[in-house]
Amino acid sequence: MRLRLKFQKLTRCKQFAKLKIHIIAVGKIKDKIIQAKINHYLDELKHISGKGMEIKLKQAPDGKSSAVEIKKKEEAEKILEALPSRAYLVVMDERGENLTSMEFAKMIERITEQGKELIFVLGGAYGLDEQVKEKADKVIAMSRLTFPHELARLILVEQLYRAFAIIKRTPYHH
């Protein structure tokens, strides 16, 4: 059974024109191919979403400690410092809720109707500290599988592009 969702026409939704999306991710992207694909989807996302939408990628530095829990706390401090106020925080975690691409698109549309900035947080190699997860409005799993942080960033950006393609009813999603 195919899930059918009703989406507002993007041209009627002024919030999309003012939408700000922040992606806060721990660590740097070292793989040039992955960075090129991320840039490709960001360009496509800007094109499909229309003028006025702002997408910011912020890199939180890796924690310096060799102890995993201390490292996660250090990363959490940097992430929490980077959070703008009046935002809807979505934490990506393998133990979060599984959504289809259609459900993900509907969630984005619902949040933007509230006029809030949308923030996605991706953890580092050891995941996210509970302090960040507790602040989240929603915790979503990309998959039950674990991905390298660079690949997780690429998947998130592609899924954002796919969500806007669904909302605008372009052929990208079928």
pLDDT for residue 19: 84
pLDDT for residue 115: 81
pLDDT for residue 3: 47
132 found inside a domain: yes
Q: What is the CATH number of the domain that holds 56?
A: 3.40.1280.10
| pTM, full prediction | 0.85
Span 25-50, pLDDT tens digits: 998 899 999 999 999 999 999 888 77
10 found inside a domain: no
9 found inside a domain: no
Span 135-155, average pLDDT: 92
| Separation between Cα atoms, residue 167 and residue 106, nearest integer Å | 8
Q: Provide the domain count of the chain.
A: 1
150 found inside a domain: yes
| Separation between Cα atoms, residue 88 and residue 136, nearest integer Å | 8
Top-confidence residue, 60 or 12: 60
Q: Which domain holds residue 36?
A: 17-172
Residue 10 has pLDDT above 50, yes or no: no
pLDDT for residue 173: 67
| Separation between Cα atoms, residue 167 and residue 152, nearest integer Å | 22
Residue 7 has pLDDT above 90, yes or no: no
| Separation between Cα atoms, residue 36 and residue 42, nearest integer Å | 10
167 found inside a domain: yes
Span 54-77, average pLDDT: 86
Mean residue pLDDT across the chain: 86
Span 71-118, pLDDT tens digits: 899 999 989 988 887 889 999 998 999 999 999 999 999 988 888 889
6 found inside a domain: no
| Separation between Cα atoms, residue 138 and residue 89, nearest integer Å | 7
Residue 157 has pLDDT above 90, yes or no: yes
Residue 12 has pLDDT above 50, yes or no: no
Instruction: Return the DSSP state at 90.
Output: E
90 found inside a domain: yes
Whether the CB-CB separation of 89 and 137 falls below 8 Å is answered with yes
4 found inside a domain: no
